[in-house]
Amino acid sequence: SIMRMLVQGGGEVVEALIDHEDVSAITFVGSSPVAKLVSTRCHTHHKRCTALGGAKNHLIALPDCHIEDAARDIVISAMGCAGQRCMAASVLIIVGNGSPQEKLLKKVVEVAGSIEPGVGPGQMGPVISPDSLEKIREYIGKAREGGAEILLDGLPWVTTAGGGVGNWIGPTVIRHKSSDDAAMKEEIFGPVLSVYHASSWDEAIQIENSNPFGNAACVYTSNGGYADWFTDRFRASMLGVNIGIPVPREPFSFGGLYGTLSKYGDMDITGDGAMEFFTNRIKITSKWGGIPSSG
């Protein structure tokens, strides 16, 4: 039988659940360090475990992409759920510097800047906790101090949204001069989109490949051949073409890439991977002989 639980508590509670003799398998979604610990403890007890960790999802925009459609999709991916979902994009790599690239970035800022605080359709709510808010503010501050350009600043929401009550921070778009900035490489988990102009396809894919996470990636283009080039080279398990939230539909399964910080353990949590995880394959080998004739 399968039981879903919402468990409150710290490490002792998690360890007790994993160690319990009546628990044969565990699924987990959370930060990479905790996912690794959960997976390691489960396997110590020879139990199945699917533990999905963090993410740093990359979007790559080529000059031939449809500006209006791409900009809307980029903002939905980065700012939906206040950027606090595992499929949220947090890095936009724009290939080249020119008029199409500037038009795309301007449109992204415009669409993101039109979002209002709230919990209704088209609005964006607060982040989950004061600690999360403080972490996001620290990354924005570090980027500013490091010379990055804040194209859209969400900090005013801290005092203006929700009447100053709640963990509010608005959509933030940062243009970086270096792909080594912390906000370009580390999981922020908030409504912050880091933008970097790559000089070539090779530089763009190198930035995506060098990240230790391996959850999702997307390319925006009007050319199928260009799309194939990137999907053949992305280092992530859920890939999109002009879709910034590339959640696979069944029977294909949801989960990060083995060997990265996005995935520990066995199988995935949906689709055919989940069927394999939550069931046992029973193999029957039979031989019939000496059966009396009905005549």
Instruction: Quick: pLDDT tens for 182-227.
Output: 999 999 999 999 999 999 999 999 999 999 999 999 999 999 999 9
Residues 151, 90: Cα–Cα separation, whole Å: 15
Give every CB contact of residue 213 below 8 A, 6+ residues apart in sequence: 32, 53, 54, 55, 56, 57, 187, 236, 256, 260, 261, 262
| pLDDT above 80 for 272 | yes
Instruction: Quick: pLDDT tens for 55-84.
Output: 999 999 999 999 999 999 999 999 999 999
- Which uninterrupted H or E stretch holds 203? helix 201-210
Q: Among 21-30, 208-217, 229-238, whose mean pLDDT is lowest?
A: 21-30
Q: What is the DSSP letter of 222?
A: S
Of 278 and 69, which is predicted with more confidence? 69
| pLDDT above 70 for 295 | no
Sole residue written with tokens 């910034």: 244
What pLDDT is stored for residue 263 in this prediction? Answer: 95
CA atoms within 13 A on the CB side of 108: 33
What pLDDT is stored for residue 172 in this prediction? Answer: 98
Q: For 30-56, what is the mean pLDDT?
A: 95
84: helix, coil or strand?
A: coil
86 tagged catalytic: yes
Question: How many percent of the chain have pLDDT more than 90?
Answer: 83
| pLDDT above 70 for 6 | no
CB count within 10 Å of CB 11 equals: 10
In the set 42, 49, 65, 86, the catalytic residue is: 86
What pLDDT is stored for residue 251 in this prediction? Answer: 82
Torsion angle (degrees, nearest 10) of CA 138, 182, 104, 262? -110
**Phi, then psi, of 90 in degrees rounded to 5:** -130, -10
